[in-house]
Chains A and B, each alone.
Chain A
Amino acid sequence: MTLPAILTLLVACASGPALALDLGGMLQNLDVNKVLETGQKLSAATREMPVNEEIGLGRDLAARILGTVPPHPDPAVQRYVNQVGRWLTLHTERPDLPWHFAVAGTDAVGAFATPGGSVIITAGLLRLMRDENELAGVLAHEISHVVQKHHVLAIMKRARAQLAADVAGEMASQYVAKNPLVTQALLGAGMNLYGSGLDQGDEYAADRAGMVIAARAGYDPLGLVYLLTTLDSIGVADARTQLLFATHPPTRSRIDALSAVADQLGAYRGSLQNSERFAQIQGSLLQ
């Protein structure tokens, strides 16, 4: 019996009337309870995640990110970014998620999206922007990750691999007393993901989709491109960009890819007329 077949059997066993199955001698040397428990975990992590669970997972992950980089204390900054972000979400396929946005009070340059509609950008990144179009570009990129469920899918893939490894270990009668719940497996996979990054294809896809979402909302679709030129000028040697550059495709490649996409969007340049409100917010960050 191949390992996939064994795993399939275990999942079926976990999700059905397990005790009615006769596994014969195959499980003679195994801790049946552990196998069943692990099979249940695998089953739970394999099915598609309901929206309410996606939201719950995202909140837990956002709380952990904020445990490292707490929110900036200025309410005006938080309120402003929420207004820009929420407006953008109204031009996506998932406008009804409980979207909220936060500015983390750190000089590090970065942005995070968690499943279910939480987006966190750093004050360090906000300081580098020229205008609201660039802010919209970053937020739209992060929103695209949520809309396309990039993190959910990647986390579940990683969690499945971990849980399958647990089952394989059990089959070899070498099961270690490491028996996390599915939720813990998902959280662990999630935080690991924020340190290692999504698939580069997901990042390019979020760049492209974000450009369109920003344009739909009336912003200059090139806002993200302009900000990327600034990030490119900072370079990889700056410690503040360490995580950003480690988890994203080369900035120059992103600029080139987006420049090619821009041709397909025509000459639209956005309709933003109020530049003062961004300047005020950015000014308050520098105080």
Chain B
Amino acid sequence: MRFAVWLLGASIATVAVAVDETPIERGVAIRPAVVLDFPDRSGKPLGTLPPNAAVDIYERQRLWLRVKPTAGLQGPAGWVQLPDLRMGFSAPPTTATAPAPTPAAGGGGFSSFSRSVSGLLAGFQSRQSGYASGSNATIGIRGLTGGELNASSPNFQAFADIERYAVMPAQAQMFANAGGLMPQRIGYVTVAPPAPPSPTGGPR
């Protein structure tokens, strides 16, 4: 059955992505991710990406991502739900030449489809660039700790410095207008309370 799903996905794999498209980002499936032909739960299933499957991302529509297996790999192309992927990797230079595995190899199905996540991390550039090189304006490449905060002395001069940049509402309005930001009337979202325990009870 799993192999049949793979065959279905592989046969339609090139439908959703044009050949000369450039990916905007890369991602890795963190759990089995159903690939659909349309960015909606009503879409037709094209296959399933297994955990750790590497994909190129070509488009984002709300919580849906249009993906295709990373160059050299096989699998279904189409739309997956954003929470099913770990993303944030820069668009790749597309030099990957990993051979396409056969469905039967490595345990069959998609088990050999995945590429090592470490390979993707090696391409984690773009927004992370400059991260490694640092900047004269920063205090070094390291994290903060609660202990540092607890031991800190107040810097009231620094606080006075940043207060100078506070803007008035009218200035903020002008900034919003320049960005095309249109206010909306939206109420806060309510969250349904947890379901009460079943009256029939369960394992205790």
Contacts and interface: CB of A to CB of B under 8 A. Distances in A.
Q: How would you classify the secondary structure of chain B's contact residues: helix, strand, loop or mixed?
A: loop
Nearest to B171: A83
A62 B158 CA distance: 9
B196 interface: no
A107 B140 contact: yes
B181 A217 contact: yes
Contact of B189 (A63, A217, A264, A272): A264
Nearest to B121: A233
Interface in A67-121: 67-75, 78-79, 82-84, 86-87, 90-91, 95, 98-102, 105-110, 118
Contacts, number: 240
B146 A243 contact: yes
A143 to B, nearest CB: 13
B167 A82 contact: yes
A59 interface: yes
A53 interface: no
B124 to A, nearest CB: 7
A33 interface: no
Given A78-B162, A79-B167, A66 B87 contact: no
B204 interface: no
Interface in B184-202: 184-191
Contacts of B171: 83, 86
Given A231-B88, A286-B130, 6 more contacts: A64-B149, A86-B168, A107-B131, A128-B128, A229-B87, A267-B62
7 contacts: A69-B139, A83-B172, A127-B131, A212-B186, A212-B188, A240-B142, A273-B179
Interface of B: 30, 60, 62-63, 81-83, 85-89, 124, 127-131, 134-135, 137-150, 152-156, 158-159, 161-163, 165-169, 171-173, 175-176, 178-191
